[in-house]
Amino acid sequence: MELVVMIGLIILIMGPVFFVMGIVYLSRGDKVAGSIMSVVGATTMGLLFWAYNVISHTNFSKGRVLRLKGRARVARRTLGEGWADEASPQLEGLTPYQRTVLGEAWMYSAGMEHASIPAFAKLSLKLSALGAPSELLEACHLAALDEVRHARRCFALARAYSGLPWSAGAIPELGQERPQRPISDDSDEWSRLVRGSLLDGCLGEGLAASVAAEASRRACDPVVRETLAVIAEDEERHAELGWDVLAFALERGGGKARQALHQALDALDEQRTPALPRIPGVDEDFLSRNGLLPQAELGRLMEECLQRTRARAEEWTQRPRVMMPPCSSSPNSSSSASTGMT
């Protein structure tokens, strides 16, 4: 494994070196050598950037997504304090390369969990604007607090595996959002709430719950197993919050909300299983033992979640009127708070 790291480092360094040498040769008039070196250097840097992009934009699991102007956003990564609890997994027997892979995987989860906090804050603002009852607002804020704990734990694991003090940085795009215009015709707001609840809440958080539960069953490290079990329980409750918000929208949003539910059901067909990149040097067994599910298992869970979500939502389209339940997602305390994950 160390050999793989060495080769990676050499490639990482050689790209810019070749590019700069190419420029130097060109400036000295050696056009052939200069051009070849520049092209090789630029191509190497481009490939590395592409590989980094593939890994850092891959969905290992999905929770409530922070969408800004239609794009999913996460905080910039930074080094520092403030976003980690005391958890520490077993590191014995792991090579430096395996630790780097696990560190990156948990960094990805940390970014997604951290982004779910402002995502719930945005949902709270929207629910307030539409006059939602207190139980929904309470459940929304409790869910945001769950995500704070999830993010802290994921950062702690990423720091332990990588040996680097990773933390959450800024999300500049959040500050660039224009203030919303006063709602004159609020039918679009109800439609967006219906779509977001079905896709990001019911499906997205439902899938996150299933993935975390299965990953917990397969993980060997007790800290990783407990972390994933708590996340699974919390995400299941967040998915139920998605259904409660959907019920609220259908009860108050009228015909437009019902129409939006039919459109959102069509959009379920376009949802794809998150694709994992192939990571050289580690096999699926190693990833499974460390809480990362193989691609085939992700596909099976996605299919199960899609069918479950579709069946429950279709049932609602056939009822003359959907009544809001007494908020099934509003517990007295979160499961995270009652475990070591604080």
Min dist CB 212 to Fe ion, Å, is 8
Nearer to Fe ion, 144 or 282 (CB): 144
Q: What SS3 class is residue 2?
A: helix
Show contacts with Fe ion in window 50-109 (CB under 5 A).
63-64
- Within 13 A of 127's CA, how many CA atoms are on the CB side? 25
* Binding range to Fe ion, per CB under 5 A, among 76-84, 170-178, 204-212, 308-316: 204-212
Site membership for Fe ion, residue 113 (CB under 5 A): yes
Nearer to Fe ion, 205 or 240 (CB): 205
Residue 236 is a binding residue for Fe ion (CB under 5 A): no
Alpha-carbon span 248 to 200, nearest angstrom: 16
Q: Which helix (H) or strand (E) holds 171?
A: none
Q: Is the Cα torsion angle 14, 19, 20, 23 positive or negative in sign?
A: positive
Q: Which residues pair with 68 in a beta bridge?
A: 71
Among 114, 152, 238, 258, binds Fe ion (CB under 5 A): 238
Closest approach of Fe ion to the CB of residue 109, in Å: 9
Taking CB under 5 A as the binding criterion, the range among 91-99, 170-178, 188-196, 233-241 that sits at the site for Fe ion is 233-241
Please compute Rg for the chain using Cα positions: 23
In whole angstroms, the minimum distance from the beta carbon of 205 to Fe ion comes to: 5
By C-beta, is 144 or 250 nearer to Fe ion? 144
Q: What is the closest distance, in whole angstroms, from the C-beta atom of residue 131 to Fe ion in the complex?
A: 24
> Contact between 237 and Fe ion (CB under 5 A)?
no
State how far the Cα of 47 lies from the Cα of 34, in Å rounded to an integer: 20
**Window 132 to 151, contacts with Fe ion (CB under 5 A):** 147, 150
Cα–Cα distance measured from residue 278 to residue 218, given in angstroms and rounded to the nearest whole number: 20
Nearest approach, Cβ of 63 to Fe ion (angstroms)?
Answer: 4
Put residue 64 in one of left, alpha, beta given phi > 0 → left and psi -120 to 50 → alpha.
beta
Q: Using DSSP, state whether 79 is helix, strand or coil.
A: strand
Cβ–Cβ < 8 Å for 322, 247: yes
Cβ nearer to Fe ion, comparing 146 with 189: 146
Alpha-carbon span 158 to 223, nearest angstrom? 13
φ, ψ (nearest 5 deg) of residue 78: -145, 170
**What's the rounded Cα separation, in Å, for the pair 301 and 286?**
20
Part of the chain binding Fe ion (CB under 5 A), chosen from 74-82, 110-118, 161-169, 173-181: 110-118
Q: Which is nearer to Fe ion, 147 or 214 (CB)?
A: 147
190 closest CA partner among 238, 127, 116 = 127
The site string for Fe ion over 160-199 (x = CB under 5 A, - otherwise) reads: ----------------------------------------
Nearest distance, CB of residue 136 and Fe ion, angstroms: 15
CB 341 to Fe ion: min, Å: 11
User: 103, 61 in Cβ contact below 8 A?
Assistant: no
Least CB distance from residue 235 to Fe ion, whole Å? 5
Q: Which residues bind Fe ion (CB under 5 A)?
A: 63-64, 113, 147, 150, 205, 235, 238
